[in-house]
Structure 1
């Protein structure tokens, strides 16, 4: 049995459901649909892709609660699925704590690790020498007793912040850290779950424990009326959730004026971002851009010396990068396609990909 380490911060029929309490423009970004017809997961995916955009992806608690309120039956398919993966190179390693990214150049694996020796070794422990090993354990230890990995994660999130995550936090551990086992579970794990639309969301509100890996068996995720998720055989017949995406990423590099003319001629307009929920939705799609930034419908007027959305929304929500000078003429707003997806000002003549909203 293995201990684990928490980290503490002082500072976490077809029924269409349009996002509640949203502005008109927010509702235009995406829409959820509860499909009260029973299908297998594959059949549900095909239905959603033919009639809407895809099976639903969930990013945060508010998304889940809106879906839960619309569910008329217990257990409806989401877009999350777990296909059997025997090749460890196909696994996505993740840190438990939100916002801490796993990168191959910031690891401390023991020699020959990870090796997935016993299949399904999706959890990671730290040895006395502070190198890492993957393991298929179901029991873990922390200073007040033994826990499974999900129990350890829940404990840390309830009483602290999360399981210790990232090399920076691990480097700050005291050098004399020890226990009877000599091993500690850390917040690193291999994620074999994928979203139907390819999104990178790591929102996983499992009902009880982290789903156990079963070699050769495909599992898909269902949303229950209590707002938690369970797994089921993907061939089971269940109702399901689709979503419609009204945001279009145009992978052509154009000036800001060319971009807005393109959107107004072929679609509706450039995209405005007026709250954190819209920011999250758009930035997920920006990851697929072929340019370093993407144009937004954000413009600076020298006459009034203010930024404004050309789509008539007020600039109340802001996501500017730090130290951005705001008083230059001939500037428009763009968002970083990667990194923290902050807004920057750019010369109108720069050429980037851009987002259009659908009519």
Structure 2
């Protein structure tokens, strides 16, 4: 293989500037170190590149031992299915059928799962063992179809074989499927698609690893990771109870937003729609440098303008204990509100108390009351400690984190009853609280309130920045009409983005799937290209090759469908993945059918769907929220393209209609009669590394090929422009 590398001086700077590391010379266990980092910084260090390793090493000049970083092992909760498509599982991705005492991670090396045919139970084993395996081959007549191999391979080879010849290694979603596979394999022991990776404390999905020779080496108790200051920053797995210094991080600020002042007076929701249509979103402001840029958008205006911050009194609640593995399906969203609560009285109630009846209401976080701490599990049940002192919510959170685990989360009615019994007649703080949200989903906690703000009342749930008060913010009624500020990623961000990917040209002829496997094994993934600067870096990986090379963009006609109304709280378990395809659909006829139409009571179809070209024109159905608890749809008998219909619905109602279940499907079918209409389902090509970048760089006439051409290549003789190609074609490829 021949590897070509493009790396500018700015790359290490950009990488360094995504994390600001802090060495803390205090000996703590991994869990204690995590608590300190989360309290005083962002989290334990996430390290995603060799440039990050260099920055890690620079945090101290005198220490030569090991220090905790954010990587850790969770033998119970970090299991993942090879078939990584949430719509496939409809809430069933957590089904497990472990043999008693499993998984045990024997000798710290068991990261894959074997299925024992004799009892239908599972245990963890080494991924390098060789076994027969079961592939999933789609559904036939509504039932899953499986294929048992007659050869033995290691887990990674088996995964590759299944992906190339069928769909993927078998997922087992429930006991019924477990029984089907047990019957199919007889007395054999086979691979299934379950495996696990170590996790980052901050939830990063980075697959970068920097192990020392012979690491990770177990034994099974060594589930936390340390970096060595006397071995070039290389990592080893250690017992989490060991006391070591540690390295925390904070994200560094960057001028990541290009702001645009729009001198049209609109409500906040109208402004959001315009920004999303013409730019990226309403302005997200994450630093005082961003505030200065916001102010520089207009030199003459002295009033207020909408930004992207807003309040959602129902859906923005979070638990203080922010560990997804702690919550089972549906448990993070369990609520037991008192009737009429939360009401955000005077716009100041952002924390939650639990009263003597076990019911909750929102309260001011600056009130003082007793509180309840969570202290782990005892005998399989949660352990709680009731305070004997009264503190504000923030003080209570700090007290619980320093002395126990955190303020109490309440995951279900059983735990609610335990707490009600424990607190008696008291009213106590629990760990539920809320922050205002950014329109673009940013998790920035930067705030720049004017004196006395936010001040309510409860109807003031949207935020404006003032051009005559140094950019300071106030909460306002969302129905107020104001100018507004939008943003796009800035030119400087484009440079940083270009240099956040280090590209490698691999001069070996492989299919797209083979190339993906090599990139994931030896680098991070196939190249994600998010800007013209990235295109330039892609081209500079090879000076003499003039053909095409695989990049990470691909098409998935079954699993890449998305609803226009992109609000996870709107969809119950399994509802986001509800589909009612007509027979043989979707078929992506001529590779151009990326939107979905709904056929009413016609001769050939009764409320069934098929994919269609988004540039076709037809009537459509908008969703307009609820009326007396029932869904409210509007049938619009104007012929528009899908994008025009989406724009119309967003400007006049909520969005194009989502169809979450058969009941809603029947409501729409009755509403439209014999018409054929647009609904909100559509799809985009996907990036192999799951990036959500919408940057595209198609060659003239592309993409145009028939539906079999579902993978994308960049051309070294056409300025890096892209074309869709058959995934089975053998080409060189570019990793990052």
Q: Which has the higher contact order (CA 8 A, sep 6+)?
A: 1
Structure of higher CA gyration radius: 2
TM-score, normalization by structure 1: 0.48
